[in-house]
């Protein structure tokens, strides 16, 4: 979805909710107030809050269920979580510093080869990882899942340490989700330092484990989807943009399965991109019979293009024809039946091609190579329909970037007609974002920053290990405050850098 449309729709929904909230509170105060109290909902301007204690008993049963072996396994898991959290702290700080001091400039080689009109991307706190803003719906869904997993980790660890859980809540501040777990602070602070760290580090550990589970699902996606989809055999067209040059009756259609590009077999999204790139680099030749050339040759006087010096043997005003050069064979021989350069209709010629050639040798006919500019390629797409029946090939003359930019493909070919290739792609994309966001959330929460787990972890460590050296509690609080302030400043600078790269700089 276009991000501007998403923000407008979301703002409209918030406006409608806020209007009816004010309306019902003025006209139906008591019934509406009872409804809000029973559901735990709270509606404010551009924000939504939900709080519940319905899961408290379930969590208590989960934490107390099972034998002593299960409890030991969970305790060991939370112990590992404490070690992982402390190992993530230096990594998070290094990433923050790298984000602050990185140049944020795109590679010059990529900026030269890519045309204007690249979609806006969202920089995040992982250097080198950019996210397209059009997929903001995935980000919000992923954040909600990661936050729920994070808070469930705190809750389970609290139950294991006999700390009462008083409730859960989630807030939406416009499009930013926030979640929290309410614990009894008196019980939490009465725990010994390592047991307290188990509870504080459990959310980070659960995010880390969740990322591992999602990564495992990604690596097994071909197996899990195999009953419904054929994976990495061909690619299927899932979407063509409105301005795609390959749209039309003789062009590509949604659900077309592409098997080859210029004779290059396509069996995955990676091979699809490779074949398109090779069409520009390799400039293949085509085997055509001499009779076809003699019957369709439209050659004019040979000249050179006035701009780039490209040899011309066709009428420049006719876009359907191109000048072809007869390629010598390995012995340097040129067929005497044909002139060195011929002018042929591109579409009719490619439809008569029996095979591709590179060395000038053909089993049938002669090898012809089109004389076109370096930024242009002739691409022949062989395709089938959803039932596997062959369709006429699609021929396109242009830059491969036009294809990759306007044609969306999937490596999941449906085995049944009622299935859509876009569904497993959406699932795979959601899993990938869960890996990135879960690791990012774990790294950020490990940093000593106000509002994050790292601040509470820092305070616990300082009050536990500096008791013998710093007697006064207030001084230990000051030390904790200084460390947390430094982490908060680094995090704020990184956020400003992200805001500058993602939103402010593209507007200038």
Check residue 117 and give its pLDDT.
44
Inside any domain, residue 115? no
* Whether residues 20 and 80 fall in one domain: no
Domain final residue, candidates 424, 455, 485? 424
φ/ψ of residue 206, rounded to 5? -65, -35
Q: Using 50, 70 and 90 to split pLDDT, how confident is the model at 315?
A: confident
Same domain, 243 and 330: yes
Are 162 and 203 contained in the same domain?
yes
417 and 494 belong to one structural domain: no
pLDDT in tens, 436-494: 899 989 998 999 988 889 999 999 999 888 877 888 889 989 999 999 999 999 988 88
pLDDT digits (tens, 9 = 90+) for 201-242: 999 999 999 999 999 999 999 899 999 999 988 999 999 988
Domain membership flag for residue 110? no
Q: 193 and 287 share a domain? A: no
- 181 and 283 assigned to the same domain: no
- Please answer whether residues 427 and 419 qualify as being in contact, where contact means their C-beta atoms are separated by less than 8 angstroms: no
Residues 6+ apart with CB under 8 A from 246: 240, 252, 394, 396, 403, 406, 407
Question: Do 189 and 250 reside in the same domain of the chain?
Answer: no
Average pLDDT over the chain reads 83
DSSP 434-498: HHHHHHHHHHHHHS--TTSHHHHHHHHHHHHHSTTT---HHHHHHHHHHHHHHHHHHHHHHHHHH
Residue 113 within any structural domain of the chain? no
Confidence of residue 369 (pLDDT cuts 50, 70, 90): confident
pTM of the model: 0.77
Does residue 109 lie within any of the structural domains? no
Asked, for residue 124, whether it belongs to a domain, the answer is: no
Residues 388 and 257 in one domain: yes
Name the domain count of the chain: 4
Kindly state whether residue 106 falls inside one of the protein's structural domains. Answer: no
Do 241 and 369 lie in one domain? The reply is yes
Farthest CA pair distance, the chain: 101
Q: What is the mean pLDDT of residues 358-371?
A: 81
If asked whether residues 33 and 52 sit together in one domain, one would say no
> How far is it, in rounded angstroms, from Cα 70 to Cα 160?
11
**For 170-179, how does the pLDDT look when each residue is reduced to its tens digit (9 = 90+)?**
888 887 888 8
What pLDDT does 225 receive? 92
Read off φ and ψ for residue 283, nearest 5 degrees: 50, 70
User: Quick check: is 500 in a domain?
Assistant: yes
Answer yes or no: is 360 within a domain. Answer: yes
Domain that holds residue 183: 48-96+129-228+425-438
- Given this model, what pLDDT does residue 9 score? 86
**Shared-domain flag, residues 59 and 38:** no
Q: Verify that 40 and 57 share a domain, yes or no.
A: no
User: Which residue from 275, 490, 457 is spatially nearest to 377, judged by alpha carbons?
Assistant: 275
Q: Quick one: pLDDT at residue 256? A: 93
pLDDT value of residue 505: 62
């Amino acid at each position: 979805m276009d991000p501007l449309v998403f923000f407008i729709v979301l703002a409209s929904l918030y406006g409608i909710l806020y209007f009816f909230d004010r309306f019902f509170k003025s006209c139906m105060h008591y019934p509406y107030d009872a409804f809000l109290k029973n559901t735990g909902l709270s509606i404010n301007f551009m924000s939504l809050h939900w709080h519940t204690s319905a899961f408290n008993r379930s969590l208590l049963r989960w934490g107390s269920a099972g034998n002593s072996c299960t409890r030991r396994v969970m305790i060991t898991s939370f112990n590992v979580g404490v070690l992982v959290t402390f190992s993530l702290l230096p990594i998070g700080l290094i990433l923050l510093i790298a984000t602050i001091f990185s140049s944020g400039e795109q590679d010059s080689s990529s900026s030269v080869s890519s045309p204007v009109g690249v979609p806006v991307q969202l920089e995040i706190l992982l250097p080198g990882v950019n996210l397209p803003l059009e997929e903001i719906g995935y980000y919000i869904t992923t954040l909600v899942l990661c936050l729920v997993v994070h808070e469930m980790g705190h809750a389970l660890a609290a139950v294991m340490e006999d700390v009462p859980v008083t409730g859960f809540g989630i807030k939406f501040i416009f499009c930013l989700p926030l979640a929290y777990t309410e614990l009894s602070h008196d019980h939490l602070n009465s725990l010994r330092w390592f047991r307290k760290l188990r509870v504080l580090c459990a959310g980070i550990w659960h995010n880390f484990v969740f990322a591992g589970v999602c990564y495992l699902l990604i690596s097994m996606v071909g197996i899990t989807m195999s009953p419904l989809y054929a994976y990495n055999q061909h690619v299927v067209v899932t979407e063509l943009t409105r301005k795609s040059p390959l749209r039309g009756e003789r062009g590509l259609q949604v659900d077309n399965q592409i098997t080859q590009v210029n004779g290059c077999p396509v069996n995955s999204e990676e091979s699809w991109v490779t074949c398109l790139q090779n069409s520009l680099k390799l400039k293949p030749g085509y085997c055509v019979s001499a009779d076809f050339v003699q019957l369709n040759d439209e050659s004019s006087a040979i000249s050179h293009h006035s701009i780039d010096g490209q040899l011309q043997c066709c009428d420049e005003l006719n876009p359907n024809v191109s000048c072809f050069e007869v390629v010598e064979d390995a012995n340097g021989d040129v067929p005497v039946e044909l002139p060195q350069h011929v002018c042929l209709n591109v579409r009719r010629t490619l439809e008569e091609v029996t095979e591709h050639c590179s060395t000038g040798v053909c089993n049938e006919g002669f090898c012809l190579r089109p004389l076109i500019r370096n930024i242009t390629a002739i691409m022949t797409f062989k395709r089938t329909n959803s039932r596997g029946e062959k369709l006429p090939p699609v021929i396109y003359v242009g830059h491969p970037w036009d294809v990759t930019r306007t044609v969306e493909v999937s490596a999941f070919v449906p085995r049944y007609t009622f299935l859509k290739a876009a569904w497993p792609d959406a699932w795979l994309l959601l899993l990938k974002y869960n890996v990135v966001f879960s690791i990012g959330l774990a790294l950020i929460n490990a940093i000593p920053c106000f509002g994050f787990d790292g601040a509470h972890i820092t305070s616990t460590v300082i009050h536990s290990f500096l008791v013998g050296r710093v007697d006064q509690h207030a001084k230990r609080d000051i030390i904790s405050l200084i460390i947390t302030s430094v982490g908060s400043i680094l995090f704020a600078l990184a956020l400003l850098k992200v805001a500058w790269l993602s939103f402010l700089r593209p507007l200038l």
